[in-house]
Amino acid sequence: MNKFQSDLAAIVETPNATYPIWVGWDILNELGERLSEIITPGKLFLVTDEYVHNHASEVASSLSNSGFDSKTFIMTSGESNKNLDTVLKIYEWLAMNKAERGDMILAVGGGVVGDIAGYVAATFLRGIAFAQIPTTLLAIMDSSIGGKVGVDLPQGKNLVGAFYQPKFVLSDVKTLETLPERELNSGWAEAIKHGLILDKQLFESFENDSKRIKSLHPEIATQIIRKSVAIKANVVSKDEKETLGIRILLNYGHTIGHAIEASTNYMSYLHGEAVSIGMMAAAYISESIGLLNHQNVERQKGVLQNYGLPIDSSKLNMNLILETMKSDKKTSRGTINWVVLHDIGKAKTNNQVDLKIVKEAIKKISV
Ligand SMILES: NC(=O)c1ccc[n+]([C@@H]2O[C@H](COP(=O)([O-])OP(=O)(O)OC[C@H]3O[C@@H](n4cnc5c(N)ncnc54)[C@H](O)[C@@H]3O)[C@@H](O)[C@H]2O)c1
């Protein structure tokens, strides 16, 4: 594996699994070679969607060059297809192709493909190996790391799922060149969040080198994405199942962010956009309870705006947001554990935030 050491962003180590996360530039074509160094799989089953098909073809030819046989399932893209109907279609395709326990599923795509392919892998034949090859910034930064896999029900998002870790994650930053700009910006929200909660230096890189980062400068963008990925990997390694109060820090901006997504029926905002507005609300809360100074609230706002992200919204309904927050699956017995900042790069939780302060923060993000 030494040859590929320079791309290694992190090794995730949980009680259930240890796996590498590689983040590099133009490395899809090395997948076959990397795979042959870490595993001797049987058949390989690629799951992708129609907009990622080109990248999946590159993966398939890299595999074939290293002597692996692969087959590809192309699902219809979009959150509305992250459901049990698609799961069933993939199960049937695997069964038809006589997939066995020793085989492997490779998810090539965004978070939708990764979540669904991972869920299929966790459950088909009581679990077969899988790997993540994320192609959106959000998936590179967030959904491919940590083993949360699942699908939506008509009653709510991600209601069915599992913790199921991949064998490896290979992220090729070059694949982001084909990603629509809005999707790219949405991913920057999660990356910036990692700096805000745990790494001041990372945040300052986002602040000071935005031109090269936003234009996906091969070396600079890859480097910063690798650093940000390492933060999530490290958190997940320490607290795989969100029980130790560490992984929860990744929820900065997500309490109100999720409520914004749900109360606008997932139609108005991409995930990262809603999280960006949610992070502003969380920063206002942090300021109101005397933790974060105003200058740092403004710095956060400036960086989010610079990366094309919204910081407020005209579509918010206060009562609906409060109602939605109450029914969030992370709300425990009516108490919300807020993630707040006490400095840039330093986050903690607080479950005593007064409702009045929350309402004021929601007013500030409503225009
Ligand atoms: N498992 C987790 O821990 C976790 C964390 C966060 C989000 N998620 C899930 O992730 C999903 C959202 O993921 P997403 O934002 O990646 O959305 P997505 O998978 O829907 O991808 C967005 C769009 O970009 C297209 N696309 C993907 N890669 C491309 C590329 N390189 N070039 C051109 N087009 C490309 C896709 O076809 C799709 O149309 C949600 O379902 C969310 O619940 C999961």
Cα of 186 to ligand 1 centre, how many Å? 10
pLDDT on residue 4: 76
Give the CATH fold of the 2-178 domain: Rossmann fold (3.40.50)
Q: Provide the residue ranges of all domains of the chain, joining segments of one domain with +.
A: 2-178, 181-210+240-364
In the predicted model, what is the mean pLDDT of residues 74-78? 97
Residue 259 and residue 315 in contact, taking contact as beta carbons nearer than 8 Å: no
Ligand 1: residue whose CA is nearest its atom 14: 111
The CATH superfamily label for domain 181-210+240-364 reads Dehydroquinate synthase-like - alpha domain (1.20.1090.10)
Convert the pLDDT of each residue in 246-259 to its tens digit.
899 999 999 999 99
Band (pLDDT 50/70/90 cuts) for residue 155 is confident
pLDDT on residue 326: 84
Distance CA 222, CA 213 (A): 8
pLDDT on residue 168: 94
Residue 74 and residue 51 in contact, taking contact as beta carbons nearer than 8 Å: no
**Residues marked as catalytic:** 126, 148, 190, 232, 242, 247, 251, 254, 258, 271
Token pair of 165 as six digits:
């870790």
Distance CA 367, CA 363 (A): 8
pLDDT on residue 195: 97
Most ligand 1 atoms within 8 A of CB, residue of 21, 80, 115, 241 to mutate:
115
Q: Which helix (H) or strand (E) holds 273?
A: helix 271-288
Convert the pLDDT of each residue in 84-101 to its tens digit.
999 999 999 999 999 999
pLDDT on residue 5: 81
pTM greater than 0.85:
yes
Is pLDDT above 60 for 1?
no
HEC letters along 108-149: EECHHHHHHHHHHHHHHHHCCEEEEEECCHHHHHHHCCCCEE
DSSP structure string for 12-80 = EEETTEEEEEEEESS-GGGHHHHHHHH---SSEEEEEETTSHHHHHHHHHHHHHTT--EEEEEEPPSGG
Residues with CB under 6 A from ligand 1: 49, 51-52, 55, 77-79, 82, 109-113, 115, 135-136, 138-139, 142-143, 146, 148, 157-158, 175-176, 178-179, 183, 271
Distance CA 52, CA 31 (A): 16
